[in-house]
Homo-oligomer: A and B are copies of this chain.
Amino acid sequence: MFILVNLKAYPCDPVEVATAARDVADDSGVRIAVAPQAAHLSQVADTGVETWAQHVSPNDYGSHTGSTLAEAVAEAGATGTLLNHSENRMKLADIDASLDAAGRADLETCVCANNPEQIAGVTALGPDSVAVEPPELIGGPDPVSDADPDIVRNAVEAAAAVDDDVDVYCGAGISTGDDVAAAGDLGATGILLASGVAKADDPRAALEDLVAPLR
Protein backbone atom coordinates (compact mmCIF):
# COMPACT_ATOMS: atom_id res chain seq x y z
CA MET A 1 0.00 0.00 0.00
CA PHE A 2 1.34 3.41 -1.08
CA ILE A 3 0.43 6.54 0.86
CA LEU A 4 0.76 9.85 -0.97
CA VAL A 5 0.34 13.00 1.12
CA ASN A 6 -0.69 15.99 -0.99
CA LEU A 7 0.25 19.25 0.74
CA LYS A 8 -1.83 21.32 -1.75
CA ALA A 9 -1.42 25.03 -0.93
CA TYR A 10 -1.93 24.45 2.76
CA PRO A 11 -0.22 26.72 5.27
CA CYS A 12 1.66 23.79 6.79
CA ASP A 13 5.43 23.48 7.24
CA PRO A 14 6.37 21.18 4.34
CA VAL A 15 9.63 20.13 5.98
CA GLU A 16 7.87 19.13 9.19
CA VAL A 17 5.41 16.92 7.32
CA ALA A 18 8.17 15.53 5.11
CA THR A 19 10.36 14.65 8.07
CA ALA A 20 7.47 12.90 9.82
CA ALA A 21 6.62 11.01 6.64
CA ARG A 22 10.23 9.92 6.17
CA ASP A 23 10.46 8.68 9.75
CA VAL A 24 7.14 6.83 9.70
CA ALA A 25 8.01 5.26 6.35
CA ASP A 26 11.42 4.13 7.66
CA ASP A 27 9.96 2.83 10.88
CA SER A 28 6.95 1.02 9.41
CA GLY A 29 8.28 -0.13 6.07
CA VAL A 30 5.23 1.41 4.40
CA ARG A 31 5.89 3.44 1.25
CA ILE A 32 4.97 7.10 1.90
CA ALA A 33 5.53 10.10 -0.37
CA VAL A 34 4.90 13.82 0.08
CA ALA A 35 3.77 16.19 -2.73
CA PRO A 36 4.53 19.85 -1.94
CA GLN A 37 4.22 23.00 -4.06
CA ALA A 38 6.87 23.14 -6.83
CA ALA A 39 8.72 25.90 -5.00
CA HIS A 40 9.08 23.64 -1.93
CA LEU A 41 10.23 20.51 -3.78
CA SER A 42 13.95 20.78 -3.12
CA GLN A 43 13.62 21.34 0.63
CA VAL A 44 11.17 18.44 0.91
CA ALA A 45 13.43 16.17 -1.13
CA ASP A 46 16.36 17.16 1.08
CA THR A 47 14.69 15.41 4.02
CA GLY A 48 15.07 12.12 2.20
CA VAL A 49 11.34 11.44 1.91
CA GLU A 50 9.97 10.21 -1.42
CA THR A 51 8.92 13.44 -3.14
CA TRP A 52 6.23 13.99 -5.77
CA ALA A 53 5.15 17.04 -7.74
CA GLN A 54 1.49 18.07 -7.69
CA HIS A 55 1.50 18.68 -11.46
CA VAL A 56 3.78 18.95 -14.44
CA SER A 57 3.07 20.91 -17.61
CA PRO A 58 2.63 19.22 -20.98
CA ASN A 59 5.47 21.14 -22.55
CA ASP A 60 9.06 20.19 -23.24
CA TYR A 61 12.03 22.55 -22.82
CA GLY A 62 11.44 25.87 -24.59
CA SER A 63 9.69 29.21 -24.43
CA HIS A 64 7.07 28.37 -21.80
CA THR A 65 7.10 31.05 -19.10
CA GLY A 66 5.28 30.02 -15.95
CA SER A 67 5.15 26.32 -16.82
CA THR A 68 6.13 23.51 -14.46
CA LEU A 69 8.68 21.63 -16.51
CA ALA A 70 8.90 17.91 -15.69
CA GLU A 71 12.70 18.04 -15.91
CA ALA A 72 12.80 20.96 -13.46
CA VAL A 73 10.75 19.17 -10.82
CA ALA A 74 12.92 16.07 -11.29
CA GLU A 75 16.08 18.15 -10.81
CA ALA A 76 14.54 19.53 -7.61
CA GLY A 77 14.19 15.98 -6.31
CA ALA A 78 10.74 14.79 -7.38
CA THR A 79 10.47 11.18 -8.50
CA GLY A 80 6.75 11.22 -9.30
CA THR A 81 3.89 13.53 -10.14
CA LEU A 82 0.15 13.81 -9.80
CA LEU A 83 -1.79 14.89 -12.88
CA ASN A 84 -5.37 16.05 -13.43
CA HIS A 85 -6.18 16.44 -9.73
CA SER A 86 -9.78 17.51 -9.19
CA GLU A 87 -8.48 20.98 -8.28
CA ASN A 88 -6.40 21.15 -11.43
CA ARG A 89 -8.36 19.48 -14.22
CA MET A 90 -6.43 19.17 -17.47
CA LYS A 91 -7.29 18.85 -21.11
CA LEU A 92 -7.17 15.23 -22.28
CA ALA A 93 -4.47 16.07 -24.83
CA ASP A 94 -2.44 17.78 -22.10
CA ILE A 95 -2.70 14.77 -19.75
CA ASP A 96 -1.28 12.69 -22.61
CA ALA A 97 1.52 15.20 -23.24
CA SER A 98 2.28 15.58 -19.52
CA LEU A 99 2.60 11.80 -19.25
CA ASP A 100 5.13 11.97 -22.08
CA ALA A 101 6.93 14.81 -20.30
CA ALA A 102 6.98 12.85 -17.05
CA GLY A 103 8.34 9.85 -18.91
CA ARG A 104 11.20 11.91 -20.33
CA ALA A 105 12.08 13.03 -16.80
CA ASP A 106 11.72 9.54 -15.27
CA LEU A 107 8.84 10.60 -13.04
CA GLU A 108 6.30 8.04 -11.83
CA THR A 109 2.76 9.18 -12.65
CA CYS A 110 -0.66 9.09 -11.02
CA VAL A 111 -3.60 10.52 -12.98
CA CYS A 112 -6.72 11.45 -11.03
CA ALA A 113 -10.28 11.11 -12.29
CA ASN A 114 -13.84 11.25 -11.01
CA ASN A 115 -15.59 8.06 -11.95
CA PRO A 116 -15.00 4.62 -13.49
CA GLU A 117 -15.49 5.86 -17.09
CA GLN A 118 -12.86 8.55 -16.72
CA ILE A 119 -10.61 6.10 -14.85
CA ALA A 120 -10.78 3.79 -17.87
CA GLY A 121 -10.09 6.78 -20.09
CA VAL A 122 -6.92 7.86 -18.29
CA THR A 123 -5.74 4.28 -17.87
CA ALA A 124 -5.69 4.06 -21.67
CA LEU A 125 -3.07 6.83 -21.73
CA GLY A 126 -0.56 4.57 -19.99
CA PRO A 127 0.20 6.12 -16.60
CA ASP A 128 1.79 4.14 -13.77
CA SER A 129 -1.30 4.60 -11.63
CA VAL A 130 -4.67 6.28 -11.49
CA ALA A 131 -6.57 7.67 -8.52
CA VAL A 132 -10.33 7.70 -8.28
CA GLU A 133 -11.74 10.74 -6.52
CA PRO A 134 -15.47 10.32 -5.94
CA PRO A 135 -16.68 13.94 -6.12
CA GLU A 136 -19.03 13.50 -3.17
CA LEU A 137 -16.13 12.46 -0.92
CA ILE A 138 -13.57 15.13 -1.83
CA GLY A 139 -12.78 17.15 1.24
CA GLY A 140 -15.71 15.70 3.13
CA PRO A 141 -15.84 13.78 6.39
CA ASP A 142 -17.21 10.49 5.08
CA PRO A 143 -14.89 7.51 4.69
CA VAL A 144 -14.94 5.94 1.23
CA SER A 145 -15.81 2.52 2.65
CA ASP A 146 -19.09 3.82 4.06
CA ALA A 147 -20.07 6.40 1.53
CA ASP A 148 -19.50 4.82 -1.84
CA PRO A 149 -17.48 1.59 -1.81
CA ASP A 150 -18.71 0.60 -5.25
CA ILE A 151 -17.02 3.50 -6.95
CA VAL A 152 -13.62 2.16 -5.88
CA ARG A 153 -14.48 -1.41 -6.85
CA ASN A 154 -15.83 -0.22 -10.19
CA ALA A 155 -12.78 1.94 -10.80
CA VAL A 156 -10.49 -1.02 -10.12
CA GLU A 157 -12.46 -3.12 -12.59
CA ALA A 158 -12.63 -0.36 -15.19
CA ALA A 159 -8.87 0.18 -15.09
CA ALA A 160 -8.14 -3.55 -15.20
CA ALA A 161 -10.34 -3.96 -18.26
CA VAL A 162 -8.15 -1.48 -20.13
CA ASP A 163 -4.71 -2.29 -18.71
CA ASP A 164 -4.18 -4.43 -15.62
CA ASP A 165 -0.63 -3.15 -15.11
CA VAL A 166 -1.94 0.22 -13.96
CA ASP A 167 -2.38 0.59 -10.19
CA VAL A 168 -5.55 2.14 -8.81
CA TYR A 169 -5.39 4.41 -5.81
CA CYS A 170 -8.21 5.76 -3.71
CA GLY A 171 -8.12 9.53 -3.96
CA ALA A 172 -10.65 10.74 -1.38
CA GLY A 173 -12.47 9.67 1.73
CA ILE A 174 -9.41 8.48 3.65
CA SER A 175 -8.52 9.80 7.08
CA THR A 176 -7.81 6.85 9.37
CA GLY A 177 -5.99 3.55 9.33
CA ASP A 178 -9.32 1.78 9.07
CA ASP A 179 -10.07 3.73 5.89
CA VAL A 180 -6.71 2.65 4.45
CA ALA A 181 -7.48 -0.97 5.21
CA ALA A 182 -10.96 -0.60 3.71
CA ALA A 183 -9.53 0.94 0.54
CA GLY A 184 -7.15 -2.00 0.25
CA ASP A 185 -10.03 -4.44 0.66
CA LEU A 186 -11.79 -2.68 -2.25
CA GLY A 187 -8.77 -3.30 -4.48
CA ALA A 188 -6.84 -0.03 -4.16
CA THR A 189 -3.07 -0.39 -3.88
CA GLY A 190 -2.52 3.15 -2.72
CA ILE A 191 -4.25 6.15 -1.24
CA LEU A 192 -4.07 9.90 -1.68
CA LEU A 193 -4.78 12.09 1.26
CA ALA A 194 -4.22 15.71 2.15
CA SER A 195 -5.75 17.60 5.06
CA GLY A 196 -5.86 14.50 7.30
CA VAL A 197 -2.08 14.72 7.55
CA ALA A 198 -1.11 18.17 6.28
CA LYS A 199 -3.53 20.01 8.55
CA ALA A 200 -3.22 17.66 11.52
CA ASP A 201 -1.96 19.11 14.78
CA ASP A 202 0.48 16.22 14.85
CA PRO A 203 1.24 14.95 11.31
CA ARG A 204 3.46 12.18 12.67
CA ALA A 205 0.68 10.77 14.84
CA ALA A 206 -1.75 11.02 11.92
CA LEU A 207 0.65 9.06 9.70
CA GLU A 208 1.27 6.45 12.40
CA ASP A 209 -2.46 5.90 12.70
CA LEU A 210 -2.71 5.49 8.92
CA VAL A 211 0.02 2.87 8.68
CA ALA A 212 -0.99 0.94 11.81
CA PRO A 213 -3.12 -1.64 9.95
CA LEU A 214 -0.33 -2.12 7.39
CA ARG A 215 2.46 -3.10 9.73
Query: Which residues of chain A have a CB within 8 Å of any CB of chain B?
Result: 6, 8-11, 37-43, 53-55, 57, 59-69, 71-73, 75-76, 78, 82, 84-96, 113-115, 117-118, 120-126, 139, 158, 162, 194-195
Which chain B positions have C-beta within 8 A of A71? 11
Query: Quick one: which of A55, A69, A95 has the most chain B CB within 10 A?
Result: A69
B9 touches A61 (CB 8 A): yes
Our pick among B6, B40, B93, B162 for the contact of A76 (Cβ within 8 Å) is B40
Which chain B positions have C-beta within 8 A of A87? 63-67
A117 touches B126 (CB 8 A): yes
With both chains docked as a complex, state the minimum distance between the C-beta of A63 and any C-beta of chain B, in angstroms. Answer: 5
Residues A64 and B118 in contact in the complex (CB < 8 Å), given A39-B41, A91-B90, A93-B113: no
Residues A96 and B118 in contact in the complex (CB < 8 Å), given A9-B63, A10-B61, A39-B38: yes
With both chains docked as a complex, state the minimum distance between the C-beta of A88 and any C-beta of chain B, in angstroms. Answer: 4
28 cross-chain CB contacts under 8 A: A9-B64, A9-B67, A9-B72, A10-B62, A10-B63, A11-B61, A37-B38, A37-B69, A39-B41, A39-B72, A39-B75, A42-B43, A63-B139, A65-B88, A66-B87, A66-B88, A67-B87, A84-B92, A89-B93, A89-B94, A91-B91, A92-B122, A93-B114, A96-B115, A96-B117, A96-B118, A121-B124, A123-B124
Nearest CB to that of A81 among chain B residues?
Answer: B66
Residues A90 and B88 in contact in the complex (CB < 8 Å), given A6-B65, A41-B39, A72-B37: no
Which chain B positions have C-beta within 8 A of A85? 65-66
